[in-house]
Amino acid sequence: MASKRQIVVGDVPIGGGAPVAVQTMTKTETANLEETMAQIHRVAEAGADIVRVAVPRDEDVEALKVIVVKSPIPVIADIHFNHTLALKALDAGAHCIRINPGNIGGPEKVKEVTAKAHNLGIPLRIGVNSGSLPKHLHDMEKEDSVQALVTAAVEFVELMDGFNFENFKVSIKSTNVPNTIAANRLLSSKIDFPLHLGITEAGTRWTGSLKSSVGLGTLLADDIGDTIRISLSTFHAEEEVKVGWEILKALKLRERGPVLIACPTCGRLQFDMDSVVAEIEQRLEAYADPIEVAVLGCAVNGIGEASHADFGITGAKNEGLIFSRGKALRKVPQDRLVEELFVEIDRYATAKEIKVDERAAAEGTEWLAQIEAENAHDLTPERLKAMEAEQAAREGAAEPLVDEESSPTAGRRFSRSG
């Protein structure tokens, strides 16, 4: 269940119905102010709501004092093992402190941190990681690792409760996707504090993105999770942010910039669609409107499943069509498709309306109809899908309870047809 409680990190609300916040962590040495600030600006530009920085030494605390002032987004200080650094990070002005109560030096040290955070009105993130469970849970972990993770998290929540501290969110992280899903589901049924979701050490851009999409996507689709971080083995933290946003966009939880849809291509393709899609995807990054842009490899199915797209192109060998919301806009030479598509997108971005030249649209519609007619008997993936759907609908249709013989409509004021 979505968390009932809300905390606020800087100016970003987490939980309690707030939009799921996207965060990431800088990969630079925090004390290297120039590089750290450059990375923070890049991740903010990519859409990070919050950024976390590692604070393992006093020189990082010194840098943190400047970072919290200069950063365009709230900053979380990530502290392990040393509660003194957590206290210093609070004094430095961090907008939130991430600690693992299990490795910070015992309950008294945790109490000191919560007391200071309480006085300053700063929230904490308390984390449980599969690799660092408290010793007394190790046997349980061998039997049931999900139960052990949740037990650790609940014990930490009770510890906070003992200190009368409520301004925190909780994270349970594991490298194991099913365990992360099961543990967060169970935890969300036991506590109502905001949850931070992530898959620890998820992997490279490719595997890490997939693991995170499966794990976090499953939880978010169940309305579990209030903020997410995608952990990828890349220096480019902005990649983590982009993946986070794609997950939220795919689930329609948040909107940010255009959505690109593209057919998978097949043997009917007659132009280099891979290059075209790559170029369109790159150019769309510069746009803020949440428009949907479709790229179809051929026009044999008409506009078909892309008819809801705000803008789209479909190509043939020499010519292509630009369409909008199910209707042809105009036919253009194949090598001008992308440029002319962006003419339409730019016009829309400025005027917020789609301009239709009736003569060009009629010409495009005719071209499309001609291609559809020429290929009317092709069993394309889309047609097969439509045929399967029709068949399923026919098979699933209930037999009429009465027919003309048992209950005639002839001579009455109604008919049963249609």
3-state secondary structure of 264: coil
Contact 114, 163 (CB under 8 A): yes
Residue 265 is a binding residue for ligand SF4 (CB under 6 A) = yes
From the CB of 259, what's the least distance to ligand SF4, in Å?
Answer: 18
Interacting residues of 285 by C-beta distance below 8 A, sequence separation 6+: 257
Residue 297 is a binding residue for ligand SF4 (CB under 6 A) = yes
DSSP string, 15-79: ETTPPPEEEEE--S-TT-HHHHHHHHHHHHHHT-SEEEEE--SHHHHHHHHHHHHH-SS-EEEE-
From the CB of 295, what's the least distance to ligand SF4, in Å?
Answer: 9
From the CB of 382, what's the least distance to ligand SF4, in Å?
Answer: 5
Residue 380 is a binding residue for ligand SF4 (CB under 6 A) = yes
Residue 269 is a binding residue for ligand SF4 (CB under 6 A) = yes
Residue 268 is a binding residue for ligand SF4 (CB under 6 A) = yes
Size of the site for ligand SF4 (CB under 6 A): 14
Nearest CB to ligand SF4, comparing residues 123 and 304? 304
| Binding range to ligand SF4, per CB under 6 A, among 89-97, 139-147, 292-300, 398-406 | 292-300
* Residue 190: both structure tokens together: 């036991």
Nearest CB to ligand SF4, comparing residues 31 and 298? 298
Nearest CB to ligand SF4, comparing residues 177 and 296? 296
Contact 89, 77 (CB under 8 A): yes
* Cβ-proximal residue to ligand SF4, closest one: 297
* Residue 269: both structure tokens together: 């393709």
Residue 264 is a binding residue for ligand SF4 (CB under 6 A) = yes
Residue 302 is a binding residue for ligand SF4 (CB under 6 A) = no
Residue 118 belongs to what H/E stretch?
helix 107-120
Nearest CB to ligand SF4, comparing residues 49 and 382? 382
Q: State the residue for tokens 């993946």.
A: 243
From the CB of 397, what's the least distance to ligand SF4, in Å?
Answer: 28
Residue 296 is a binding residue for ligand SF4 (CB under 6 A) = yes
The candidate with the shortest Cα–Cα distance to 161, out of 129, 189, 186, 126, is 126
> Which parts of 127-251 fold into alpha helices (H)?
138-143, 145-162, 177-190, 205-221, 237-250
Residue 307 is a binding residue for ligand SF4 (CB under 6 A) = no
> Of 280, 300, 328, 332, which lies in the binding site for ligand SF4, with binding defined by CB under 6 A?
300
d(CA 195, CA 175): 17
d(CA 336, CA 225): 44
The candidate with the shortest Cα–Cα distance to 14, out of 120, 98, 71, is 98
Contact 53, 83 (CB under 8 A): no
Residue 379 is a binding residue for ligand SF4 (CB under 6 A) = no
> Of 38, 120, 266, 356, which lies in the binding site for ligand SF4, with binding defined by CB under 6 A?
266
| Binding range to ligand SF4, per CB under 6 A, among 110-118, 265-273, 327-335, 346-354 | 265-273
From the CB of 161, what's the least distance to ligand SF4, in Å?
Answer: 56
Task: By CB under 6 A, name the binding residues for ligand SF4.
Answer: 263-266, 268-269, 296-298, 300-301, 380-382
